[in-house]
Amino acid sequence: MDALRIFLDGANRNRTLFVLLVGFALFPIYTGIADLPFWNDLAMRIMLLGLAAMGLNLVLGYGGMVSFGHAAFVGVGAYCVGISQYYGLFNGWIHILMALGACGALGLVIGYLALRTSGIYFIMITLAFAQMLFFLFVSLEQFGGDDGMSIDRAEFIIIDLWEPLRLYYLIWAALALSSVLLMFIVRSRFGVVLQAIRSNESRVEAMGLAPLPFKITGYVISAMICGLAGALFASWQEYVSPDIMHWTRSGELMIIIILGGLGTLSGPLLGAVVFLLLEEILPEVMHVVAPSYAENWMIVFGPILIAVVLFARGGLMGLVHQMTGRRR
């Protein structure tokens, strides 16, 4: 009964998230009628990026830990698929388990070392670990090195991923399950303590609680969610390279979270929707308005992101709350 109550309460508080999930579930019906299969690929990319951003948001938005290396976990999850296939293992369920295990263990090690610091020192340590992993995979010529490696879509026994819509709904199911899991985590006692640590860590210590185990646990869960996104991303893209774990990818995830709404369950997914739609639409608009500058569409993209961050309190979710008359 407690679980049902938490779910219903969370669903009521996160209506935007459920609207987005239902929208993604029904989206292939529209693309099928309109004969626009390309948009299914874009929707899958949005869901994967949103899933990774949700993982980072657990530590960044709810825990107040500014990690600049979470793209490394996405990359490790992707390479779990690539390296497994190199050695003849094509079972997708095993790939996911390997990605969760590897990223969980890596998150435990990095979290244990990095979370003993704070502020700029924590940021630099997470960035350093991410770049270490980036250069490690660049040096592995056996697995393609800097050029990366082509892979096949994983085999999920009864699910044939060569059928595009099956891959689409597998990604959607992972996103939906992760969203519900994060909803329970945020509403649990653990989630409340994690948010209290973000607000005032000294006060939590004064209450007799040790912040470090909570922060490490949150960091590990966050890493595992990013690893899941990476494993599914590899099957979707059918290609893995170290570029996926470059520090700029971590910055991209942070921008998406801040754009959508820091410390909200809906924010990362909404931010991913807007971020990637702008990437797709702006070049086309620039080509019509100013053909000579169509390749320089980032000149417009940057100020739009800055304007949202500066003038929309709470990001896009802040605007949603204002328009619906709700207060955070």
Give tens-digit pLDDT for 224-240. 999 999 999 998 888 99
Residue 219 falls within a domain, yes or no?
Answer: yes
Within a domain: 186: yes
Domain carrying residue 47: 2-323
In a domain, 275, yes or no: yes
CA–CA gap between residue 68 and residue 19 (Å, rounded): 30
Which range, 129-133, 161-165, 285-289, has the best average confidence (pLDDT)? 129-133
- DSSP letter (8 states) at residue 146: G
pLDDT band at 326 (very low <50, low <70, confident <90, very high): low
The answer to whether 165 and 40 are in contact (CB under 8 A) is yes
- pLDDT average, residue stretch 102-124: 90
Rounded average pLDDT over 61-84? 91
Residue 212 has pLDDT above 50, yes or no: yes
Residue 140 near residue 240, CB atoms below 8 Å: no
pLDDT recorded at residue 53: 95
Mean confidence (pLDDT) of the chain: 86
pTM for the whole structure: 0.91
Mean pLDDT on 207-218: 90
Per-residue confidence band for 162, with pLDDT thresholds at 50, 70 and 90: low
Q: Is residue 328 part of a domain?
A: no
Q: What is the pLDDT of residue 10?
A: 54
Domain of 299: which CATH number?
A: 1.10.3470
Q: Are 193 and 172 in contact (CB under 8 A)?
A: no
Name the pLDDT band for 69 (thresholds 50, 70, 90): confident
For the chain, the domain total comes to 1
The answer to whether residue 16 is domain-embedded is yes
Cβ-count burial of 324 within 10 angstroms (0-12 exposed, 13-18 middle, 19+ buried)?
exposed
pLDDT band at 3 (very low <50, low <70, confident <90, very high): low
CA-to-CA distance for 197 and 173, rounded, in angstroms?
A: 31
In a domain, 276, yes or no: yes
Phi, psi values for residue 119, rounded to 5°: 65, -140
Determine, yes or no, domain membership for 286. yes
- What's the pLDDT at 62? 92
For residue 327, pLDDT over 70 is answered with no
Instruction: Look at residue 12 and tell me whether its pLDDT is greater than 60.
Output: no
Q: Report the pLDDT averaged over residues 178-196.
A: 91
pLDDT digits (tens, 9 = 90+) for 243-269: 998 888 888 899 899 888 888 899 899
pLDDT of residue 328: 46
